[in-house]
């Protein structure tokens, strides 16, 4: 069974589209009504009417853009929007420039091996070996953060770009072409190369006099891969459920994989999120009932990249079944210290973590907003137990002690954060949770019992730095047959964005008020979309609000027209009832647009294009004359050196 999955096909059929939550839809079936935005009613704005929740949505009313909030005054968007594109090139507005940068395989450290397509043991003599790959930028760029290396102006010209590598396209990785590597066997070197192309890259970069950015050959450059030594910390560290034969103490796991979105802490560390780890294991028969239930709830199995054929760590046996429980965490990395050991922060829960957006409360507590990206999964937040500065001064990590919550969205526009705390409510030994460590390893199952609201694939979260409003992208869900308030379309083909304000503006609060920011799609009401046709998009995924509250929306999936793209929104302005949006960037053939970072001066924008040519048809970026399509960062600047987006 497990050997019949072609990883390339598996990548095409997004595993997040398949549910593994048995408790999903019915919870709110009886309240499948349109959400009337209470805030909008109070503000005298547009009111959502009930009754449009059918499978053929036409002109649904919706509550968008509460007036009077956010950026009154000067419009945030000053560029001329671009049309959709099907070209195999990156397009940005007039007056902007986009250049590919640090593509997969860029020499990064050690011997600085040049990129050469293919793997020798896959039948491509002269291609990069597994060892080469460990010294090069990884594959399939995703979330990223820019860390300045200086205060002031120089910090916007010299820094560390830290980026995730979400998965590998084994076709291009092993053969260098849109051609299967799977005959007849998968070698140990192929598996090792695949593992070395995963994880995170730390890349020192600087802006040259010419205005171009360049990689610096620096001792700070680093690769973190599927085999890097890590630590487990927090309540699940050392727990019985994370102990393995190779690590009987359950504290020293190896590697991070499927690193999707990201976050950054106020103390200058990077957070990387382990998403689709579940597909990388083979589960042997004979598992006990408890383990079958746990692995089933996370969808573990499939041996998507054939690692299990060569690396026993990725085989779940009846007697050594806990390796998958050591993935699905948020991992903290100190990018300034190349020898530092990355730490898996178990207090933030175990899910298919999309991203981790950090916000600091007025009292100095850190709050981390997180989505679990699969159909009918949940939105979470973690709140540290104390002020982050005082916790750190006492030698404690603010990410090890605190409360994890899961969101329940009620149809009256309010919501509640439900604590995942052992001993509270149903989270007791009688229900299979012996202690807090078990609650965290089984985060999804604990959230099921609490009655969290099943969502349409929660992807990135974002916090408006000026108003504190929190946003989450719900990318799509073609399995939804029963609506609930925050997920009003059945099926949800195009995705949408929900947002909320925490009670009293306190991000540690346990209640909130939410509304629908927008419903994506072809626009002008088609399929229920609440945007204008000229701004059409689908499958919102990456999301970030910049220091001016400009919202950047990145897409991954079916678009009404053309390639995946990135749009900017002024979240507090509407035009004819639709939020003000402008298309800023269109990606190349087959890519998704994901990951975003800016220099502090907001004059250089970094955006990632992942999996160009996923089904063939792309040779981007070709900046080295090679035709193999390669994920890469795009560096966007303005010809006049101005702030991006204005
Ligand atoms: Fe890694 Fe849900 O995208
Ligand atoms: Ca994503
Ligand atoms: Ca996605």
Q: Whose CA is nearest to atom 1 of ligand 1?
A: 260
The DSSP secondary-structure symbol of 12 reads H
- How long a stretch of residues is the chain? 646
Q: Quick one: which of 521, 552, 551 has its CA closest to 539?
A: 521
Q: Residue 373: nearest ligand to its CA? A: 1
SS3 575: strand
DSSP 501-520: EEGGG-TT-SEEEEEEEEE-
Whether the pLDDT of residue 201 is over 90: the answer is yes
The response to whether residue 260 sits with its C-beta less than 6 Å from ligand 1 reads yes
**CA of residue 275 to ligand 1 center, whole Å:** 7
The response to whether residue 354 sits with its C-beta less than 6 Å from ligand 1 reads yes
CB atoms within 10 A of CB 526: 16
- Residues 141 and 122: their CA atoms lie apart, in Å, by 23
> Does some domain include residue 308?
no
Contact 64, 530 (CB under 8 A): yes
Looking at residue 21, what is its pLDDT? 85
Contacts with 519 (C-beta within 8 Å, 6 or more apart), sequence order: 60, 62, 488, 489, 494, 496, 528, 529, 530, 531
Whether the pLDDT of residue 486 is over 70: the answer is yes
Q: What is the mean pLDDT of residues 336-362?
A: 98
Whether the pLDDT of residue 61 is over 60: the answer is no
**CA of residue 355 to ligand 1 center, whole Å:** 8
Whether the pLDDT of residue 26 is over 90: the answer is no
> Does some domain include residue 287?
no
> Does some domain include residue 188?
no
- Residues 436 and 451: their CA atoms lie apart, in Å, by 18
Q: Residue 274: nearest ligand to its CA? A: 1
* C-alpha separations of 377 from 100, 232, 490, 568, 593 in Å: 35, 24, 16, 27, 23
**CA of residue 392 to ligand 2 center, whole Å:** 31
Q: Quick one: which of 628, 629, 635, 573 has its CA closest to 607?
A: 635
Contacts with 601 (C-beta within 8 Å, 6 or more apart), sequence order: 153, 156, 643
Q: Residue 539: nearest ligand to its CA? A: 3
- Residues 599 and 579: their CA atoms lie apart, in Å, by 27
Looking at residue 322, what is its pLDDT? 98
Q: Which atom of ligand 1 is nearest to the CA of 142?
A: 1
Distance of CA 11 to the CA centre of its chain: 16
Looking at residue 575, what is its pLDDT? 85
User: Which helix (DSSP H) or strand (DSSP E) does residue 133 occupy?
Assistant: helix 130-133
* C-alpha separations of 591 from 81, 136, 363, 537, 626 in Å: 20, 21, 42, 15, 18
Q: What is the mean pLDDT of residues 480-490?
A: 97
Number of domains, the chain: 1
- Residues 88 and 632: their CA atoms lie apart, in Å, by 14
Q: Which atom of ligand 1 is nearest to the CA of 276?
A: 1
Looking at residue 510, what is its pLDDT? 98
Looking at residue 577, what is its pLDDT? 82
> Does some domain include residue 1?
no
SS3 325: helix
Whether the pLDDT of residue 466 is over 70: the answer is yes
CATH number, domain at 83? 2.120.10.30
Sign of CA dihedral 646, 607, 460, 495: positive
Whether the pLDDT of residue 473 is over 80: the answer is yes
Contact 553, 531 (CB under 8 A): no
Strand partners, 568: 552, 582
**CA of residue 369 to ligand 2 center, whole Å:** 15
Quote the crossing angle between the two packed helices 289-297 and 443-450, to the nearest 10°: 80
Looking at residue 52, what is its pLDDT? 31
Contacts with 124 (C-beta within 8 Å, 6 or more apart), sequence order: 117, 118, 174, 175, 176
Whether the pLDDT of residue 65 is over 70: the answer is no
**CA of residue 166 to ligand 1 center, whole Å:** 8
Place of tokens 């694939």: 457
Residue 623's pLDDT band, with cuts at 50, 70 and 90, is confident
Sign of CA dihedral 438, 442, 445, 446: positive
Looking at residue 60, what is its pLDDT? 36
The response to whether residue 275 sits with its C-beta less than 6 Å from ligand 1 reads yes
Looking at residue 8, what is its pLDDT? 41
pTM of the complete model? 0.92
User: Which helix (DSSP H) or strand (DSSP E) does residue 392 occupy?
Assistant: helix 388-393
Place of tokens 């799509």: 476
The DSSP secondary-structure symbol of 267 reads T
Distance of CA 517 to the CA centre of its chain: 20
Q: Which atom of ligand 1 is nearest to the CA of 457?
A: 2
Task: Between 534 and 61, name the one with better pLDDT.
Answer: 534
SS3 291: helix
CB atoms within 10 A of CB 539: 23
- Residues 357 and 125: their CA atoms lie apart, in Å, by 43
Looking at residue 183, what is its pLDDT? 63
Q: For the segment 580-615, what is each residue's pLDDT rounded down to a tens digit?
A: 999 999 999 999 999 999 999 999 999 999 999 999
Sign of CA dihedral 591, 595, 600, 602: positive
Looking at residue 438, what is its pLDDT? 98
SS3 614: strand
DSSP 198-246: SEEEEEEEEE-TTS-EEE---TT-EEE-TT-B-EEESTTTT-GGG--SS
> Does some domain include residue 608?
yes
Q: For the segment 158-168, what is each residue's pLDDT rounded down to a tens digit?
A: 999 999 999 99
Q: Which atom of ligand 1 is nearest to the CA of 371?
A: 2
- Residues 209 and 188: their CA atoms lie apart, in Å, by 45
Q: For the segment 367-419, what is each residue's pLDDT rounded down to a tens digit?
A: 999 999 999 999 999 999 999 999 999 999 999 999 999 999 999 999 999 99
Contact 190, 121 (CB under 8 A): yes
Task: Between 24 and 53, name the one with better pLDDT.
Answer: 24
Residue 13's pLDDT band, with cuts at 50, 70 and 90, is low
> Does some domain include residue 317?
no
**CA of residue 556 to ligand 2 center, whole Å:** 7
Query: Token digits for 458?
Result: 């929660």
- Residues 102 and 141: their CA atoms lie apart, in Å, by 10
* C-alpha separations of 79 from 95, 183, 569 in Å: 8, 50, 12
**CA of residue 559 to ligand 3 center, whole Å:** 13
Residue 75's pLDDT band, with cuts at 50, 70 and 90, is confident
**CA of residue 541 to ligand 3 center, whole Å:** 5
Looking at residue 570, what is its pLDDT? 96
Give me Rg for the CA atoms of the chain. 23
Q: Which atom of ligand 1 is nearest to the CA of 352?
A: 2
Q: Which atom of ligand 1 is nearest to the CA of 260?
A: 1
Q: Quick one: which of 618, 645, 642, 638 has its CA closest to 630?
A: 618
- Residues 486 and 474: their CA atoms lie apart, in Å, by 10
> Does some domain include residue 634?
yes
* C-alpha separations of 311 from 110, 186, 188 in Å: 25, 11, 8
> Does some domain include residue 4?
no
Residues whose CB is under 5 A from ligand 3 (ion)? 541, 556
Looking at residue 74, what is its pLDDT? 72
The response to whether residue 373 sits with its C-beta less than 6 Å from ligand 1 reads yes
The response to whether residue 372 sits with its C-beta less than 6 Å from ligand 1 reads no
CB atoms within 10 A of CB 1: 10
Query: Token digits for 320?
Result: 């050594």
- Residues 357 and 480: their CA atoms lie apart, in Å, by 27
- Residues 236 and 327: their CA atoms lie apart, in Å, by 12
Q: Residue 167: nearest ligand to its CA? A: 1
Contact 456, 492 (CB under 8 A): yes
- Residues of the domain holding 21: 10-104+139-166+199-255+258-275+328-638
């Amino acid at each position: 069974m497990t050997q019949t999955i072609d990883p390339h096909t598996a990548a095409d059929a997004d595993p997040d589209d398949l549910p593994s939550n048995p408790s999903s839809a019915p919870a709110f079936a009886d309240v499948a009504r349109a959400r009337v935005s209470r805030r909008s009613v109070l503000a005298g704005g547009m009111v959502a009417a009930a009754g449009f929740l059918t499978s053929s949505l036409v002109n649904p009313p919706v509550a968008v853009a509460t007036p009077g909030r956010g950026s009154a005054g000067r419009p945030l968007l000053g560029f001329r929007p671009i049309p959709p594109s099907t070209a195999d090139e990156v397009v940005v507005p007039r007056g902007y420039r986009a250049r590919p940068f640090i593509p997969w395989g860029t020499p990064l450290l050690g011997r600085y091996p040049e990129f050469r397509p293919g793997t020798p043991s896959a039948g491509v003599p002269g291609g990069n070996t597994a060892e080469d790959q460990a010294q090069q930028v990884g594959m399939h760029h995703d979330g990223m953060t820019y860390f300045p290396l200086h205060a002031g102006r120089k910090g916007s010209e010299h820094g560390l770009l830290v980026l995730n590598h979400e998965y590998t396209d084994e076709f291009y990785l092993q053969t260098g072409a849109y051609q299967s590597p799977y005959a007849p066997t998968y070698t140990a070197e192929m598996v090792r190369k695949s593992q070395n192309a995963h994880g995170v890259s730390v890349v020192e970069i600087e802006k040259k006099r010419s205005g171009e950015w360049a990689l610096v050959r620096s001792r700070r450059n680093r690769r973190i891969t599927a085999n890097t030594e890590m630590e487990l910390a927090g309540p699940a560290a050392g727990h019985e459920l994370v102990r393995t034969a190779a690590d009987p103490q359950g504290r020293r796991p190896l590697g991070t994989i499927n690193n999707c979105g990201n976050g950054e802490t106020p103390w200058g560390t990077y957070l990387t999120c382990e998403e689709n780890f579940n597909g990388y294991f083979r589960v042997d028969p004979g598992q006990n009932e408890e383990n079958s239930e746990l692995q089933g709830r996370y969808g573990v199995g499939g041996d998507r990249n054939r690692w299990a054929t060569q690396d026993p760590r990725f085989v779940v046996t009846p007697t050594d079944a806990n390796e998958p429980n050591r993935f699905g965490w948020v991992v903290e990395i100190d990018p300034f210290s190349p020898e530092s050991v990355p730490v898996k922060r178990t207090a933030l829960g175990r899910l298919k973590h999309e991203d981790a957006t950090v916000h600091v409360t007025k009292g100095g507590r850190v709050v981390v907003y997180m989505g679990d990206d699969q159909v009918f999964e949940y939105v979470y937040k973690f709140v540290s137990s104390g002020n982050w500065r005082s916790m750190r001064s006492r030698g404690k990590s603010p990410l090890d002690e605190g409360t994890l919550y899961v969101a329940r969205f009620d149809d009256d526009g309010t919501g509640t954060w439900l604590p995942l705390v052992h001993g509270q409510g149903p989270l007791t030994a009688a229900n299979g949770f012996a202690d807090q460590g078990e609650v965290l390893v089984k985060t999804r199952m604990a959230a099921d019992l609490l009655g969290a609201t099943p969502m349409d694939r929660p992807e990135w979260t974002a916090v408006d730095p000026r108003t504190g409003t929190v946003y989450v992208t719900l990318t799509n869900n073609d399995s939804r047959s029963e609506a609930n308030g925050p997920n009003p379309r059945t099926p949800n083909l195009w995705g949408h964005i929900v947002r909320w304000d925490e009670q009293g503006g306190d991000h540690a609060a346990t209640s909130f008020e939410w509304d629908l920011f927008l419903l994506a799609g072809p626009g002008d009401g088609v399929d229920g979309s609440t945007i204008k046709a000229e701004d059409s998009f689908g499958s919102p995924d990456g999301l970030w609000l910049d220091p001016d509250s400009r919202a950047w929306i990145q897409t991954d999936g079916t678009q009404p027209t053309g390639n995946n793209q990135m749009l900017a929104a002024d979240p507090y302005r509407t035009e004819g009832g639709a939020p003000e949006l402008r298309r800023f960037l269109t990606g190349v053939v087959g890519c998704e647009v994901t990951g975003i970072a800016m220099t502090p001066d907001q004059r250089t924008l970094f955006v990632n294009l992942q999996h160009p040519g996923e089904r063939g048809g792309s040779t981007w970026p070709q900046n080295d004359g090679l035709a193999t399509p390669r994920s890469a960062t795009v560096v966007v600047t303005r010809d006049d050196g101005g702030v991006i987006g204005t």
